[in-house]
């Protein structure tokens, strides 16, 4: 069984070599995933899903109610966020070079006059990537020391549904490019979260105890992250980029 239908809710099902069953509702559009033990039968998975329907609906409602930016055209007057602070975009035209910088409370995007919205998006995303790359070494070093374990590799990806992800076997961690738009403590939280997965794969009680030890305020910061303005994401493609 790869997909389960409960009423009007479609649930993706994946079986893995784990002991317990887990369910997730993913932003931005409320996709539902169940991860179940390899030995779990279809009836047991269905009963588990049915028992969590009220919770699934509540999570979806919270996503729908969360503030979200409209589709970006990358023109003067739009609002963009850098480390949690809102800036007014000022598009300036030049045939010399593309650049992005902050000046006088504005986010200046300098591009060629004939540039398309897609080209402006790439220029701005490349700048966001550089902001994240500049801040990451200090955060990673601090979190490595705090958690007591090191990742072998860190990468940045523009992701739709996750703030971070971890390949536990290879100790490779991915971070969402969009974190450069969120308040700085959100980056600390996500880096710590992914490092803790190198100690515990699942979001179980053991995982939460690790988080309580290494980042006592993680629940508050998680809530802060989830309450911040979401980007228009429907046309984003996941883009793999090494840090």
Residues 229 and 164 in one domain: yes
pLDDT (0 to 100) of residue 201: 87
Are 169 and 215 part of one and the same domain?
A: yes
Q: Is the dihedral of CA 204, 210, 211, 217 positive or negative?
A: positive
**Based on the domain organization, do 237 and 122 belong to the same domain?**
yes
Q: Do residue 50 and residue 122 come from a single domain? A: no
Residue 179 lies in a domain: yes
CA distance 184 to 132: 10
Based on the fold, state whether residues 123 and 178 are members of the same structural domain.
yes
Strands 9-16 and 31-37: parallel
H helices of 41-151, where? Answer: 42-51, 53-65, 117-147
Q: How confident is residue 3, by pLDDT bands cut at 50, 70 and 90?
A: confident
Instruction: Supply angle C-alpha 60, 62, 64, rounded to 5.
Output: 70
Burial 170-181 (b: 16+ CB within 10 A, else e): eeebbbbbbbbb
Mean pLDDT over 171-185 rounds to 93
Supply the pLDDT for residue 17. Answer: 87
Residue 70 lies in a domain: no
Least confident piece of the model among 88-92, 102-106, 209-213, 235-239:
235-239
Do residues 61 and 139 both lie within one domain? no
Pair 90, 182 in one domain: yes
Q: What's the mean pLDDT in 42-57?
A: 90
* CATH number for 120: 3.30.2010.10
Mean pLDDT across 195-203: 92
pLDDT on residue 243: 35
Residue 222 domain-assigned? yes
> What domain count does the chain have?
2
Beta strands in 17-98 (DSSP E): 22-26, 31-37, 79-82, 85-93
User: CA–CA separation, 176 vs 190, rounded Å?
Assistant: 9
Residue 241: predicted pLDDT = 35
Residue 189 forms part of a structural domain:
yes
Contact 20, 202 (CB under 8 A): yes
Q: Which of 185, 184, 162, 164 is closest to 174 using CA atoms?
A: 164
The pair of three-digit structure tokens given for residue 153, joined into one six-digit string: 């590799």
Shared domain for 44 and 128, answered yes or no, is no
Looking at the structure, do residues 60 and 83 belong to the same domain, yes or no? no
72 domain residue, yes or no:
no
Whole-angstrom Cα distance, residue 17 to residue 112?
A: 52
pLDDT value at 186 more than 60: yes
In angstroms, rounded to a whole number, what is the distance separating the alpha carbons of residues 182 and 222? 11
Element of type H or E holding 206: helix 205-214
**Do 60 and 85 belong to one domain?**
no
Residue 112's domain spans which residues?
A: 79-242
Last residue of a domain, one of 65, 90, 117: 65
Query: Is 204 part of any domain?
Result: yes
Is residue 238 domain-shared with residue 139, that is, in the same domain?
yes
Q: What is the pLDDT of residues 54-106, one digit of tens each?
A: 988 888 776 665 555 567 889 999 999 999 999 999 999 998 889 999 998 99
Residue 234's pLDDT band (boundaries 50, 70, 90)? very low
Label residue 180 by pLDDT band (50, 70, 90).
very high
pLDDT tens sequence across 16-38: 888 888 888 876 567 888 998 99
| 60 & 104 share domain | no
Q: What is the pLDDT of residues 114-172, one digit of tens each?
A: 999 999 999 999 999 999 999 999 999 999 999 999 999 999 988 876 888 889 889 99
């Amino acid at each position: 069984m790869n997909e389960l239908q409960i009423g009007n809710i479609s649930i993706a099902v994946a079986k893995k070599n784990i002991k317990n069953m887990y369910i997730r509702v993913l932003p931005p559009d409320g996709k539902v995933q169940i991860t179940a033990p390899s030995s779990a039968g279809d009836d047991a998975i269905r009963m588990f899903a049915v028992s969590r329907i009220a919770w699934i609906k509540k999570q979806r409602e919270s996503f729908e109610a969360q503030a979200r930016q409209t589709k970006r055209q990358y023109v003067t007057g739009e609002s963009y966020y850098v480390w949690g602070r809102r800036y007014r975009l000022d598009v300036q035209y030049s045939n010399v070079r593309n650049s992005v910088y902050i000046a006088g409370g504005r986010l200046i995007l300098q591009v060629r006059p004939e540039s398309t919205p897609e080209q402006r998006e790439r220029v701005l995303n490349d700048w966001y990537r550089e902001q994240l790359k500049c801040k990451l070494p200090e955060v990673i070093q601090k979190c490595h020391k705090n958690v007591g374990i090191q990742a072998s590799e860190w990468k940045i990806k523009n992701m739709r549904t996750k703030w971070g992800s971890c390949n536990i076997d290879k100790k490779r961690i991915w971070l969402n490019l969009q974190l450069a738009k969120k308040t700085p403590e959100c980056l600390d939280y996500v880096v710590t979260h992914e490092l803790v997965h190198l100690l515990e794969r699942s979001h179980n009680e053991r995982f939460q105890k690790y988080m309580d030890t290494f980042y006592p305020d993680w629940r508050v910061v998680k809530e802060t992250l989830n309450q911040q303005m979401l980007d228009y994401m429907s046309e984003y493609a996941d883009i793999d980029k090494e840090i």
